[in-house]
Chains A and B, each alone.
Chain A
Amino acid sequence: MKLELINKLFECVEFGKININSPYPPQMKGLPGADEITQEALVAGVNPDEILNRALIAAMNKVGEKFTEKKIFVPQMLLSAKAMNASMNHLKPYFADGSVKRKGVFIVGTVFGDLHDIGKNLLSMMVEGAGWEVIDLGIDVNTEAFVEKVKEYPDAVVGISALLTTTMVNIEPVIKAIKQASPATKVIVGGAPLTAAFAASIGADAYGKNPREGIIWLDLQSQKMNN
Chain B
Amino acid sequence: MMTWKSNFDETKKHYLDWWKGKGIVLSMWEHLFKEGEPYEEIPPPPRHKDINQFWFDPEWRSDYLHYRMSRNSYMADILPVANAQLGPGSLASLLGSELEGRDDTIWIHPKKDFDETIQFDEDNRWWKLHQDLLSAVKKRSEGKYMVGCPDLIEGLDVLASLKGPDNVLVDLILEPERTLEQLAEINKVYFDVFDRIYDIINMEGEMAFCYFSLWAPGKVSKLQVDLSIMISEEDFRHFCLPFLEEQTRQIDYTLYHLDGVDAIRHLDAVLELKELNGVQWTPGYGQPQGGNSRWYDLYKRVLAAGKSVMINWVTLDELEPLIDHVGNQGLHINVDFKSEREIEKALTIVDKYR
Contacts and interface: CB of A to CB of B under 8 A. Distances in A.
Interface stretch (A68-76, A153-161, A200-208): A68-76
A79 B284 contact: no
Interface of B: 104, 107, 165-166, 169-170, 172-174, 230-232, 235, 284-286
Most buried by B among A22, A24, A78, A193: A78
A115 interface: yes
A22 B174 contact: yes
B166 A121 contact: yes
Contacts of A22: 174
Interface string A17-61: 000001110000000000000000000000000000000000000
Most buried by B among A72, A75, A118, A192: A75
Contact of A118 (B173, B230, B232, B235): B230
A78 B170 contact: yes
Contact of B231 (A16, A24, A73): A73
Given A118-B166, A118-B230, A121-B166, A75 B173 contact: yes
Contact of A24 (B104, B173, B230, B285): B173
Interface of A: 16, 22-24, 72-76, 78-79, 82, 115, 117-118, 121, 166, 192-193, 195
A79 B173 contact: yes
B172 A75 contact: yes
Contacts of B230: 73-75, 118
B170 A75 contact: yes
Nearest to B284: A192
B285 A192 contact: yes
A209 B286 CA distance: 12
**SS class, residues of chain B in contact with chain A:** helix
A193 B231 CA distance: 21
A24 B176 CA distance: 11
**SS class, residues of chain A in contact with chain B:** loop
Contact of A73 (B165, B174, B232): B232
Contacts of B235: 73, 75
A115 B107 contact: yes
Given A73-B235, A75-B231, 10 more contacts: A23-B174, A74-B230, A75-B169, A75-B170, A75-B172, A75-B173, A75-B230, A79-B173, A115-B107, A166-B104
Contacts of A192: 284-286
Nearest to B232: A73
A5 B173 CA distance: 25
A223 B332 CA distance: 55
Contacts of A121: 166
A72 B172 CA distance: 14
Contact of A76 (B173, B284, B285, B286): B173
A166 B105 CA distance: 11
Q: Give 5 nearest A-B pairs by CB, closest first.
A: A74-B230, A75-B169, A192-B285, A193-B285, A73-B232
Nearest to A82: B170
B86 to A, nearest CB: 17
Contacts of B284: 192
A124 B55 CA distance: 35
A118 B230 CA distance: 10
19 contacts: A16-B173, A24-B173, A72-B232, A73-B230, A73-B231, A73-B232, A74-B230, A74-B231, A75-B169, A75-B170, A75-B172, A75-B173, A78-B166, A79-B174, A117-B166, A118-B165, A118-B230, A192-B284, A192-B285
Contacts of B169: 74-75, 78
B170 A79 contact: yes
A117 B165 CA distance: 9
A112 to B, nearest CB: 12
